Structure 1
């Protein structure tokens, strides 16, 4: 910037001669709110305009006074993210699906000028939801295990206090929730298994779950088997076991009972990994004698033996929609809860 251009705009500088957002706005011929939104990373600001504002702010060593911004707007520009774990679960063993979703939520929040506060909760001893009342955040996103029934009940009750809250696959009807297109994913899996010649496809997953995604998957499985005239094969899962052990035990039960099956549709990838282990121990060739498909698209599936075919959820889109939905609530608007897209990710297990 030339000395003349800077000197011509010194009027309106802040205390101690510091440059202000008003002055940057005047230099670039935009409004002061546009400067503020651009420097918060608001994607609604035109990309070229945002780039010009950021470049000039960096040149002038200008940064937003966040304390002043919070006082002026009465917003924290922070989002609280609660990850519900199974009671007593080792945090190193959390389903990587939720860690991938966490990363995408964090990226999406950052792109929109929000900080993220992350909390792992597993029991009444550490349940906490009053982030807005304590002025720690403007709103709340809740994701995590459907096996933590107490946790979902707690946040379901708290939602009645009109706290801005968005959930991933929540089991409570009074919680605003986003989920993947589970029905489409199930049909993609079943259609692919049929193209592989499978006539006896077992569903390995919860039959009566607090998590609506599992109910969507079992309901669609039942509908497809009826439409195609296929037998319904749904082994019982051991309660309170981790998902891998549930998949392992279910397949062991099928083999013990000499149930005829040539395809497995597993309600999530961890269940599928347990199923693969049981099939391997029985000497059954996966991808040849039995075809296996999981659901979620966790990275671990690529390293299974054989690599796991799965229904992959769009993690980035999910994170983006959760953050956008919460921001819509904060603005008094109706959030978009359209199901998140899924796709069939082909590998060697089916």
Structure 2
């Protein structure tokens, strides 16, 4: 008579198993794995060695229930129709990368959600026990989405914004005004005299308006006048930059420089100038804003004003995770010189 081998069900290793093997009690295991200073280094090392040997991992859900923390930050990226792949905004994802890096250094996981105004907006990750704080990234053109998140921010302290058009909110921004001055002064210093601004201002208060204010101020100090496009068609930023440059050049062919309020706008300007045979930087100079890595492979490589994304990420995490009381913060910007402006 033959018998079939019985199936054995693998049992999950628990902290009690680790405690028994390490010769300590279960509470010591929990404190050791949490990095508590109440546990001596020797005991911690012994517990960690046993945990590795047994293949024990902490049940994060159970740990979260005990501590009230998830060790997770949620990041919401707002997207309009013009931001969706393949024409999405690369700057958002460069900032996201900096946030992920800063979160990892803190031992935090990052939960990412792409949301659009025509979809279901959601930001109550803390209330649902999915995150300890939430960061929202977007631009002023996502107006209805920002209204939703501004209302949500009034009821929760663990929500921080990048790109919010509202001043009465907890946000982190670039030094947009200072960046506008830096870009415009750089073009003036390199001998350009008729400098046009590229960036729609019709979306109301926001980062473009602040950059325009710095541009206008720098021009006024040198006795120069601002030049703006008359229309910006719907669509992605690159297309808007192309049409804005065409509009202004057709009205005034003597324009010899552009300050674009974003790198994506600047890429559109570059496309138009190439189409009409204008040499960059000899005939026309261009400075963008955002410091996108894509600017290193444009033709020519784009001179740009870059915010300190590492500092921005740290500031956003302090607001969202630590509940830092400061409601607003600016991060420094710097000029990155490439090849779209004449050398000194």
Scaled by the length of structure 1, what TM-score is found? 0.82
1:1-350 map, 5 Å: 12-14=24-26, 20-22=29-31, 30-31=37-38, 58-61=48-51, 63-87=57-81, 89-210=83-204, 212-329=206-323, 333-335=324-326, 337-350=328-341
Cα shift readout 1:218-275 (whole Å, capped 9, x = no counterpart):
1111111112110211112414221111111111112211342111111000110000
The count of aligned residue pairs is: 319
C-alpha separation between the residues in 2 aligned to 1:105 and 1:280?
36
Query: What is the TM-score normalised by the length of structure 2?
Result: 0.84
CA distance in 1, matches of 2:92, 2:61: 32
- Look at both structures and tell me which one has the larger radius of gyration over its CA atoms: 2
Q: Is the 8 A contact 1:326 1:335 kept in 2?
A: no
Per mean C-alpha deviation after superposition, the further-off stretch among 232-241 and 189-198 is 232-241
**Unmatched tracts of structure 1, length 5 or more:** 1-5, 36-48
User: Aligned partners of 2:208 and 2:335: how far apart in 1?
Assistant: 18
The CA distance in 2 between the partners of 1:224 and 1:203, in whole Å, is 12
Superposed CA deviations along residues 152-190 of structure 1, whole A, max 9, x for unmatched, are 111112222225210002112342100111122112211
RMSD of the TM alignment (CA)? Answer: 2.8
Gaps of 5+ in 2: 1-17
C-alpha contact (below 8 Å) 2:133/2:158 kept by paired residues:
yes
With 145-154 and 83-92 compared, the bigger mean Cα shift is at 83-92
Is the 8 Å Cα contact of residues 201 and 261 (structure 1) preserved in structure 2?
A: yes
Deviation at 1:87, TM superposition (A): 3.4
Aligned partner of residue 154 in structure 2, secondary structure: helix
| In structure 2, C-alpha distance between the alignment counterparts of 1:29 and 1:124, rounded to whole Å | 46
* Cα distance, 1:21–1:205 mapped onto 2, change above 3 Å: same
- SS of the aligned residue for 1:312 comes to strand
Measured after TM superposition, the shift of residue 88 of structure 1 is 6.8
Q: State the alpha-carbon separation in 2 of the partners of residues 24 and 166 from structure 1.
A: 30
- Secondary structure in 2 aligned to 1:166? strand
Q: Is the 8 A contact 2:171 2:329 kept in 1?
A: no
Which whole-Å CA distance do the structure 2 matches of 1:92 and 1:56 have between them?
50
Residue 100 of structure 1 aligns to a residue whose secondary structure is helix
